[in-house]
Amino acid sequence: MQHSETIKIAHIGGGSQNWAPTVIRDIIFKRGMERLRLDIRLLDIDAPRAKAIETLFDVKLKEWGIDRVRIRAAAEAREALSNADFVLITISTGRLEAMRHDLAIPEKYGVYHTVGDTSGPGGWSRSLRNIPVFKTYAELIKKVAPKAYVLNYTNPMGTLTKVLADELGPNKVVGLCHGLFEALEVLQRIFGLQSEKEVITRFAGLNHFFWVLDMKINGRDGHKMLRDKMKGRKFHELVGEAYEDPMGFSSRYLLAGELLENYGHLPYIGDRHTCEFFSCYITSPELMERFGLKRTSIEDRERGYRAAAERIKLWTEGKEADFALNTEPSRETAADIMHAIVFNEGFTDVVNTVNAGQVPNLPLGAVVETMGLVDSSGFRALAAGPLPESIKAVVAPHAEVQIRTVQAGLSGDKEAALMALVADPVCARLTVSDIKKMGQELIAANRRFMHKG
């Protein structure tokens, strides 16, 4: 894109109490962005939440002495999106009340989701109610902001990023997730490294289900170094202390260690996500206890939402919260991506993009997670190479389900959607008739969000 004095950013889900303060703060203070005026529009179906973010930044911008940034809640989608240079998406259609069904209905059939936002019946249900919404936004973006680059943070990352990319073009859309950062943090801890930059990885797979295919630690074979360190010990013992994820849960890497030992490659270490790609780990309470797999309940999430709302209130009032909204950047990379595109300065990042061969033995058209390059031409995935056959065997079926779920969600074909769920490996322990019955219950629970065609 051509350099412009004012950059317009539309944030769909701009009332997000967790995402909006962090990502907007990062954009404001990204080095180089001080040369630009920023026009940030917040769109949220919950207007008071968007207004709360607007008010928060009115206060903080005065405190920081910044007058080049305008942040305003928008009344409707066309107003927010018109002529946008960038679109951020952080929404959850139906919010927690809809997600309650994603967890409760599969539980009746013996599927005990730990998170429930990506794969299995919970992820499938979440996809189906979000797909029509994302399609509508994609069509509007194409009409009123045809030059916009879209950064999606909403799960299921794979299906929803595909809906956007298929409508707007693969180089205009990226899905963002910070899973690799967790692995780098753990490796830095294990090897006592000064910086995570001492670790170079080649990884590939799906969001929340990627695998480190190769890693170099200061030029040496990282997997061999890890095996040497593990002699007589388990992976979780090397870490020393448990990693607490953002929801405050920890499995102590027991599942990551199990997969590393048996597949020879380090998986995504977020066990509560990884377990949801296998039928065994979330259909057996005994295995869940053995591997320390904790479930995030709706009540847990409600407490998190209340805490975030209170934090915003305290920040707005100039009072101390559990942490400060200061000028220090987070680990999220939305600001880096925008800077790279505006100023055509190449930036490499973890990207979720449509597979055009960067992972040659996963289905073309599925959204895969690899390293990618960002510059003024948009998003370009870097070749990761094929997955080892043993890993491909567990990853590829999920990629196929992703494609079929998107097709069914866009067409409104209920039977095709149910058969996509039947093919989901997470449901492997259920009979076909029970899977379809479970799927019909989930569709009924989501009826008001579904495709009406």
Which DSSP string do the residues of 372-390 spell out, in sequence order?
EEEETTEEEEPP--PPPHH
Contact assessment for residue 200 and residue 215, using Cβ atoms and an 8 Å cutoff: yes
CATH (domain of 215)? 3.90.1820.10
Domain presence at residue 234: yes
Cis, peptide link before residue 170, omega less than 30° from 0: no
**Residue 78 confidence (pLDDT):** 97
Q: How many CB atoms lie within 10 A of CB 433?
A: 9
**Residue 244 confidence (pLDDT):** 56
**Residue 3 confidence (pLDDT):** 47
Domain presence at residue 285: yes
pLDDT, mean over the chain: 94
User: Which tokens in the block code for residue 22?
Assistant: 């962090």
User: Which tokens in the block code for residue 394?
Assistant: 């567990």
Q: What is the pLDDT of residues 285-302, one digit of tens each?
A: 999 999 999 999 999 999
- pLDDT above 90: percentage of residues in the chain: 91
Domain presence at residue 369: yes
User: Which tokens in the block code for residue 382?
Assistant: 């870097």
What number is the average pLDDT over the span 152-156?
98
**Residue 249 confidence (pLDDT):** 58
Q: What is the pLDDT of residues 243-266, one digit of tens each?
A: 555 555 566 799 999 999 999 999
Domain count within the chain: 1
Query: Nearest-CA neighbor of 203 among 385, 402, 334?
Result: 385
Domain presence at residue 88: no
**Residue 242 confidence (pLDDT):** 44
What number is the average pLDDT over the span 414-432?
98
Domain presence at residue 8: no
Handedness of CA 326, 329, 330, 333 (dihedral sign): positive
**Residue 52 confidence (pLDDT):** 98
φ, ψ for residue 87, nearest 5 deg: -130, 125
Q: Which domain holds residue 245?
A: 94-117+184-296+332-453
Residues with Cβ within 8 Å of 423's Cβ and at least 6 positions away in sequence, in order, are 397, 400, 401, 404
Coil/strand/helix, residue 161:
helix
Q: What is the pLDDT of residues 375-388, one digit of tens each?
A: 999 999 999 999 99
**Residue 51 confidence (pLDDT):** 98
Q: What is the pLDDT of residues 39-54, one digit of tens each?
A: 999 999 999 999 999 9
Domain presence at residue 270: yes
What number is the average pLDDT over the span 71-97?
97
Domain presence at residue 356: yes
Q: DSSP letter for 267, please.
A: E
* pLDDT confidence band for 358 (50 / 70 / 90): very high
pTM, whole model, 2 decimals? Answer: 0.95
Domain presence at residue 237: yes
